[in-house]
Every structure is written in structure tokens, then in C-alpha cells.
A and B are shown apart, each in its own frame.
Chain A
Amino acid sequence: MLDQIVFYFFATLAVISAVLVVTRRNVVQSAIFLITALLATAGIFLQLHAEFLFIVQVILYAGGIMVLFVFVIMLINMDVSLHQVQFNRQWWLGLLLALVLGAQLKVAIAMGRAGLPLGEPAPATALEPSTQLVGRVLFSEYMLPFEIASILLLVAMIGAVVMAKKKV
């Protein structure tokens, strides 16, 4: 019962925030609603017994990436952008195609829904303690992707610094 309340609360919050992200005129308000959407997603992770991922989402996404976004928005703020046209000229075509994509995926999920159970859904205790299990798997089986991800981050850092410098 509590499960359902939590899930529907966070799901509604996520969807409403997402709609507000793509429709606000003011970029700062969009950023704030994206933060809300990310925190709602973190809530869904918590409800799915993914505690480590919940806290990683809060720290990295909401507390890291969004701070970066907000910094950049404030540094290159343009008051002019509040009075420009917000949606491009082919918005109706884009909307139509996106809805067609959505409908396709919905049909796919609905048709495959019967095949989902795959036997008994696993008990929640299989995922606890979340941090230890993720750490163990990350540093044994997925060590190579981990190292590649660290190199990727290094490259991204260098790239971002070089891109944003005044004189190279």
C-alpha cells in the first residue's frame, strides 16, 4: 500500500516536472523543474530498493550536472531569449513523430507484458546491501568499462576546459 502511494507520487511528480521542463519560457525555471524531475527519479530508484543508485543520482545528477547547467545558464544569460519564439517552425511535425514513436513503444510494451514475469520476481533482499553488491560487481566483472569510463571523464574534462577557455 505504501509502495503504491510512493510510486504514484514520484511518478506523477516526474511526469509533471518533465512536461514543465520542455514548455517553460524561462530557462532557469526549466532547470529548476529538471532538478525536480531528477529528484523524483531518485525517489523511484529508492522505491525499487536501489539505494546506492538513489544516492548516486542525487549527488551526481542533481548535485553535479544540474549545478553545471545552472552555472552556464547564469553566465550566458540573455534577457532577449525571454521574448523570442520558443518553438521551432516544424513543431507540429516533431510532435507528431514523437507521439508516433511513443505509441509504437507503448504497443510493444503492452504486447510483451505477458512475457515479463520470467518466473517469480526476485525478492528485494537480492538487491541488498546495495552498495556492497554494486561495488563487488563493478570492480570485478566490469573493471574494464570502469577504467574506460574514467578515461572518458578525463577526456571530457580536458575537452570542456579547452572549449570554454578564452584563448587556447
Chain B
Amino acid sequence: MIPTSHYLFLSLGLFTIGVIGVVTRRNVIIILMSIELMLNAVNINLVAFSRLVGSVEGHVFAIFVITDAAAEAAVGLGIIIAFFRNRETLLGDEMDLLKW
């Protein structure tokens, strides 16, 4: 049996890589993908604790997280498509219409 802390460290590693992706990259699609990575890291965490305690409530929470990720990805990509149609750009730096 693998100690739960191993799973927590793995989840931490994935989460940090996701955060680096969000704050460092310019392309908004890659930012969205890094957000998906972060949500996955959270899921690993939930399932590891669920295994430790022996109850499936962690699994149910993880299913809701996946559902949320799907909804968010759909809406986010819709927004990106709409913006791309107007401004022809995919870079977060150049999406500054609301800046003073």
C-alpha cells in the first residue's frame, strides 16, 4: 500500500505545474488547459483521501469536479471563439479592450 502522502505530493506537483502554466503562458487555450491540469490534481487528492478513509464521498466530489470542468471548458472555449472572431488574436496580453 502506497502511503497517502505520495499521492498528495503528486497532486501538489501537478497543481504547481498548472499554476505555472496559467501565470506564465500567453496563449489562452494553453491557460485553459493548465486550469484543467489543476482540477485534475485536486481530483487525485480527493480520491487519495477517499481511499484512506474508505468512503466513496471523495469519488462523488471528484465526479462533481469533473462535471464543473466540462461546463467551464465549454463556456470558456465559446468565449475564446467569440473573441477570436472579433479580434483575431489568441494571446492574453492582447485581450485588453477593458483597460484604461
Interface residues of A, Cβ cutoff 8 Å to B: 3-4, 7, 11, 14-15, 18-19, 21-22, 27, 30-31, 34, 37-38, 41, 44-45, 48-50, 52-53, 56-57, 60-61, 64-65, 68-69, 72-73, 75-76, 78, 81, 84-91, 94-95, 97-99, 101-102, 105-106, 109-110, 113, 116, 118, 121-124, 126-127, 130, 133-134, 137-138, 142, 145, 149, 152-153, 155-157, 159-164, 166
Contacts and interface: CB of A to CB of B under 8 A. Distances in A.
B34 to A, nearest CB: 6
B37 A34 contact: yes
B20 interface: yes
A147 to B, nearest CB: 12
Contacts of A95: 20, 23-24
A60 B24 contact: no
B75 A160 contact: yes
A94 B20 contact: yes
Contacts of B93: 88-89
B33 A69 contact: yes
Contacts, number: 239
B90 A86 contact: no
B55 A87 contact: no
A88 B57 contact: no
Interface of B: 1-10, 12-21, 23-27, 29-30, 32-34, 36-37, 40, 43-44, 47-48, 50-57, 59-60, 62-64, 66-75, 77-82, 84-85, 90-93
B72 A156 contact: yes
A45 to B, nearest CB: 6
Which residue, A4, A21, A109, has most C-beta atoms of chain B within 10 A? A21
B59 A52 contact: yes
Contacts of A15: 10, 13-14, 17
Contacts of A134: 56, 59-60, 63
